[in-house]
Amino acid sequence: MNFIFLGLISILYSSALLATENSAETSTKSPQWLTDWQQERSEGGIGSECRKHVSKIMQCRFKVVVDESHEALTAVIQDVEGFKEWAISVLISERVMYEESDPDTYVYTTYNFTGAYNRDALSRYSMVTDIEGRRNRINFITVDKPYEPRDLRLVRFPLMAGYWQFTSLGNGQTEIEHQSFTQPGGLVQSTLYHLFNVAYLDSSFDTIRALLAQAKRPKYQDALESGLSILAKNK
């Protein structure tokens, strides 16, 4: 994940965000949001809708139907050490081991952050697969666990949270749904939020296109045999 200033995504959500992710179907705003979900622009079949947090930072959701298997797309996200090959602005991405019994995956990532100090984040990734195996959803959120930063000048993201969801539609098509919310912290969040929002939206489109290109590589096309996986929980 994207995964920003530019280009995150990659990558983001807290339990509070999870609880309100379906509020697009209602017109009642949560006190933590200044606006309801509103349609933003579309590019190359990728549609987007966003809402504005009380911090004035936007949370956005993207959807697109593509001619690619949900297994290959899932494998790209599961290959966390490969983020730097395609995720916008990612400089370093490495798996971090904590308890062996923990079914989730922890990833330390550093980001190029144009116009400000570079950022870093330690995030937890977890996957949920529907009982029929046609939908994979990979949630991610920053966590507060001990980890020595690569560079003391890096600014830690206060929050990066969201998900990637891949739903098989049959006939080789998959619906991609990606949602993320990032608190950049510092001066960027307090005074440069407009520039951040614009860059976040731009980079999210770029990240989805880069994901599609990455998924075409042979090692992801052979995802069913390659063994690339983080532990999934059937639900």
Decide if 9 is inside a domain: no
pLDDT score of 33 more than 70: yes
pLDDT score of 185 more than 80: yes
Can you spell out the DSSP letters for the chain? -----S---S----HHHHHTTTGGG--PPPTTBSS--EE---BTTBEEEEEEBTTS-EEEEEEEEESS-HHHHHHHHH-GGGGGGTSTTEEEEEEE---TT--SEEEEEEE--TTS--EEEEEEEEEEE-TTS-EEEEEEEE-------S-TTPEEPSEEEEEEEEEEEETTEEEEEEEEEEE--HHHHHH-HHHHHHHHHHHHHHHHHHHHHHHTSHHHHTHHHH-----EEE-
pLDDT score of 4 more than 50: no
Q: Which of 114-118, 154-158, 167-171, 173-177 has the highest mean pLDDT?
A: 173-177
Candidate from 86-95, 162-171, 194-203 with smallest mean pLDDT: 194-203
Decide if 38 is inside a domain: yes
Residue 55: C-alpha distances to residues 116, 117, 128, 181, 189 (Å)? 19, 20, 30, 11, 8
Closest to 89 in 3D by CA, of 184, 16, 163:
184
Mean pLDDT value of segment 123-142: 95
pLDDT at residue 99, as a whole number: 82
Q: At residue 82, what are phi and psi to the nearest 5 degrees?
A: -100, 5
pLDDT at residue 40, as a whole number: 93
> pTM to 2 decimals?
0.82
Mean pLDDT value of segment 123-130: 96
Mean pLDDT value of segment 49-59: 94
Tokens of 133: 């195996």
CATH of the domain at 45: 3.30.530.20
Q: How confident is the model at residue 228 (pLDDT cuts 50, 70, 90)?
A: low
Q: How confident is the model at residue 26 (pLDDT cuts 50, 70, 90)?
A: very low
Decide if 18 is inside a domain: no
Q: Are 68 and 168 in contact (CB under 8 A)?
A: no
Decide if 22 is inside a domain: no
Decide if 13 is inside a domain: no
pLDDT score of 14 more than 70: no
Decide if 77 is inside a domain: yes
Decide if 103 is inside a domain: yes
pLDDT score of 56 more than 80: yes
pLDDT at residue 192, as a whole number: 82
Decide if 26 is inside a domain: no
Domain of residue 106 covers 31-234
What is the average pLDDT score of the chain? Answer: 84
**For residue 171, how many C-alpha atoms fall within 13 Å in the half-sphere facing its CB?**
4
Mean pLDDT value of segment 116-131: 94
Q: How confident is the model at residue 5 (pLDDT cuts 50, 70, 90)?
A: very low
Q: Report the domain count for the chain.
A: 1
